Amino acid sequence: MAKHETPLLDQLESGPWPSFVSDIKQEAEARAKNEKGVEYQIPVDVCEDLLGVLELSFKHGRTHWKHGGIVGVFGYGGGVIGRYCDQPEMFPGVAHFHTMRVNQPGGKFYTTKFLRDLCNVWDMRGSGLTNMHGSTGDIILLGTTTPQLEEIFFELTHTYNTDLGGSGSNLRTPADCVGEARCEWSCYDTQDLCYNLTQEYQDELHRPAFPYKFKFKFDGCPNCCVASIARADISFIGTWRDDIPVDQEAVAAYVGGELAPNGGAHAGRDWGPFDIKKEVVDLCPTNCIQYADGKLTIDSKECTRCMHCIAVMPRALRIGNDRGLSILVGAKAPILDGAQMGSLLVPFIKVEEPYDEIKEVIENIWDWWMEEGKNRERLGELMKRQGFQRLLEACNLKPDPRMVQEPRTNPYIFWKEDEVPGGFQRDIKEFRKHHLR
Ligand code: SF4
Continuous segment of H or E residues that includes residue 152: helix 148-154
The candidate with the shortest Cα–Cα distance to 333, out of 219, 215, 221, 222, is: 215
Q: What is the pLDDT of residue 138?
A: 96
Instruction: Tell me what pLDDT residue 267 has.
Output: 77
pLDDT of amino acid 413: 53
Ligand 1 lining (C-beta closer than 6 Å): 284-286, 288-289, 298, 303-310
- Residue 8 CB: number of other CB atoms within 10 A? 14
Residues 6+ apart with CB under 8 A from 169: 208, 209, 210, 211, 212, 213, 376
Ligand 1 atom closest to the CA of 307, numbered from 1: 5
User: Which residue's CA is minimally distant from atom 6 of ligand 1?
Assistant: 303
Q: What's the pLDDT at 156?
A: 96
Q: CA 64 to CA 89: how far, in whole Å? A: 13
Instruction: For residue 223, report the distance from its CA to the centre of ligand 1, in Å.
Output: 12
Q: Mean pLDDT per segment of 10 residues, for the chain of length 437 residues?
A: 92 93 96 95 97 98 85 92 95 96 96 96 97 93 97 96 93 97 97 98 95 96 95 97 97 96 86 94 96 96 95 97 97 81 95 97 98 95 92 92 68 58 56 55
What local confidence, expressed as pLDDT, does residue 108 receive? 95
How far is residue 332's CA from residue 342's CA, in Å, rounded to a whole number?
8
pLDDT of residue 291: 97
Q: Distance, CA 305 to ligand 1 centroid (Å)?
A: 5
Residue nearest to atom 3 of ligand 1 (CA): 309
Q: What is the pLDDT of residue 407?
A: 56
Among 242, 313, 247, 257, smallest CA distance to 280 is for: 313
CB-based burial label for 105 (10 Å; 0-12, 13-18, 19+): middle
Q: What is the pLDDT of residue 437?
A: 46
Q: How far is CA 53 from CA 2, 25, 48, 49, 94, in A?
A: 13, 14, 9, 6, 8
CA of 297 to the centre of ligand 1 (A): 11
Measured by CA distance, the residue closest to atom 8 of ligand 1 is 284
3-state secondary structure 335-356: CCCCCECCEEEEEEECCCCCCH
Ligand 1 centre to CA of 348 (Å) is: 17
Distance between CA atoms of residues 240 and 402, nearest Å: 14
Residue nearest to atom 1 of ligand 1 (CA): 284
Ligand 1 pocket test: pick from 241, 283, 289 the residue with the most ligand atoms within 8 Å of its Cβ: 289
b/e burial code for range 294-312 (CB count within 10 A of at least 16 → b): eebebeeeebebebbbbbb
What is the model's pTM?
A: 0.89
- The number of helix segments (H) and strand segments (E) in the chain equals 15, 13
- Measure the CA–CA gap between 249 and 312, rounded to whole angstroms: 15
CB 396 within 8 A of CB 265: no
Where does 376-421 have alpha helices with state H? 379-386, 388-394
Q: Which domains does the chain have, with CATH numbers?
A: 7-159 (3.30.70.2500), 175-227+325-419 (3.30.413.10), 248-312 (3.30.70.20)
* Strand-pair category, 216-219 with 234-240: parallel
